[in-house]
């Protein structure tokens, strides 16, 4: 077997992709096939060959390619812990187990990891080097929401309410729209064992109806009572944020805000008429995040959402 050595970057990228929160069969096949196609010089395989190959053979080729980069002996206790972790979250068959019961030299990869790495790699590192730091991994609950505002603000609101998502293993996915939430839910619900919390805007009643037949007893869904997530922000918090954004050059018009039925529409007009940059949800959500200081900044419905996530 003739192998093109993996660079340090390739090793870290491979470990990152293998330990992300994703259905095991999909991520392992992708990484293993990429390694074989790009780093195995002899024998040569085409993608069609790999698509027909037994999972056990694929695994042996991939682990040989990775392990050729290290002289040290693999600590297989890391592999066993990773297998148990994946098994605690995902449903998979005996064939997929062949991919996960590999002999990849993870301790060799861990030795080259730096401090500035994503949580999944920090979790991998913690399996080899004991640490007191708590990570978003292992994941115990999954939140599916529509947009970037929820992704940015829900963890902050939860922390203010005394329920740190990171410490409690809560993983949040912003699907990018109500239809995508349904798609993500359908992809996840048959393959994961952990509870799923779904957050939808009020205009997603049809999507709610699509989800309900597949909702399990351990899952929960919340339809915003009126409007969208931005409408759940307290008026006080919005005013505080607008004054922060404009650096108090012009006080935010409280009267207009109180009259509006759509917070986003109000914000779009506010930014436009005051000659500010274009209103962008992500930018504004990050500004809101910086201005959340205490429990009074959390509206009753957001508190309800956080509590539902906490007790599910």
pLDDT at 250 over 70: no
User: 100 pLDDT band (50/70/90 cuts)?
Assistant: very high
163-170 CB contacts, 8 Å cutoff, 24+ apart: 163/306, 163/309, 163/310, 165/136, 166/119, 166/134, 166/135, 166/136, 167/134, 168/140, 168/141, 169/136, 169/137, 169/138, 169/139, 169/140, 169/141, 170/136, 170/139, 170/140, 170/141, 170/142, 170/143, 170/309
Given this model, what pLDDT does residue 137 score? 63
Given this model, what pLDDT does residue 272 score? 82
User: 67 pLDDT band (50/70/90 cuts)?
Assistant: very high
Given this model, what pLDDT does residue 258 score? 75
The tens digit of pLDDT for each residue in 194-207 reads 999 999 999 999 99
- Give 64's Cβ-side CA count (13 Å radius): 17
From the CB of residue 167, how many other CB atoms can be counted at a distance below 10 Å? Answer: 12
User: 119 pLDDT band (50/70/90 cuts)?
Assistant: confident
How many Å apart are CA 151 and CA 282, to the nearest integer? 9
Given this model, what pLDDT does residue 101 score? 95
pLDDT at 136 over 60: no
pLDDT at 261 over 90: no
3-state secondary structure of 295: helix
Residue with tokens 């986003």: 264
pLDDT at 33 over 60: yes
- Say if CB 312 and CB 195 are below 8 A apart: yes
Q: Which residues pair with 3 in a beta bridge?
A: 40
Q: What percent of the chain has pLDDT over 90?
A: 78
Q: For the chain, how big is the Rg over CA atoms in Å? A: 23
pLDDT at 257 over 80: no
How many Å apart are CA 232 and CA 297, to the nearest integer? 11
Strand 141-145 to strand 196-200: parallel, antiparallel, or no bridges (unpaired)? Answer: parallel
How many Å apart are CA 36 and CA 14, to the nearest integer? 12
How many Å apart are CA 275 and CA 253, to the nearest integer? 15
- What is the arithmetic mean of pLDDT over 269-283? 84
pLDDT at 253 over 70: no
Residue with tokens 């090793």: 11
pLDDT at 72 over 80: no
Helices (H), 72-197: 76-89, 94-100, 106-110, 119-126, 148-160, 178-189
pLDDT at 172 over 80: yes
Given this model, what pLDDT does residue 277 score? 79
Given this model, what pLDDT does residue 294 score? 95
pLDDT at 20 over 60: yes
Given this model, what pLDDT does residue 271 score? 84
Element (H or E) spanning 301, and its range? Answer: helix 300-311
């Amino acid at each position: 077997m003739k192998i093109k050595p993996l660079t340090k970057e390739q090793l870290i990228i491979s470990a990152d992709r293998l330990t992300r929160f994703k259905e095991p069969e999909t991520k392992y096949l992708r990484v293993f096939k990429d390694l074989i196609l790009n780093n195995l010089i002899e024998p040569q395989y085409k993608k069609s060959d790999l698509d027909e190959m037994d999972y056990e053979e694929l695994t042996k080729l991939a682990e040989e390619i990775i392990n050729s980069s290290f002289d040290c002996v693999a600590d297989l206790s890391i592999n066993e812990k990773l297998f148990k972790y994946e098994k605690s979250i995902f449903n998979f068959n005996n064939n997929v187990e062949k991919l996960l019961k590999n002999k990849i030299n993870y301790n060799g990869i861990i030795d080259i990891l730096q401090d500035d790495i994503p949580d999944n790699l920090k979790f991998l590192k913690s399996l080899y080097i004991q640490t007191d730091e708590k990570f978003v991994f292992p994941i115990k609950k999954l939140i599916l929401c529509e947009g970037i505002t929820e992704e940015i603000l829900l963890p902050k609101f939860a922390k203010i309410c005394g329920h740190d998502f990171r410490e409690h293993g809560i993983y949040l996915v912003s699907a990018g729209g109500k239809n995508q939430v349904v798609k993500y839910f359908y992809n996840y619900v048959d393959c994961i064992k952990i509870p799923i919390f779904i957050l939808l805007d009020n205009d997603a009643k049809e999507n709610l109806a699509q989800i309900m037949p597949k909702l399990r007893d351990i899952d929960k869904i919340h339809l915003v009572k009126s409007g969208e997530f931005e409408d759940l922000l307290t008026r006080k918090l919005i005013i505080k944020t607008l004054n922060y954004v404009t650096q108090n050059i012009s006080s935010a018009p409280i009267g207009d805000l109180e009259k509006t039925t759509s917070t986003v529409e109000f914000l779009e007009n506010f930014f436009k008429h005051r000659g500010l940059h274009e209103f962008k949800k992500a930018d504004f959500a990050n500004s809101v995040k910086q201005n959340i200081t205490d429990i009074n900044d959390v509206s009753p419905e957001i508190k309800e959402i956080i509590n539902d996530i906490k007790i599910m």
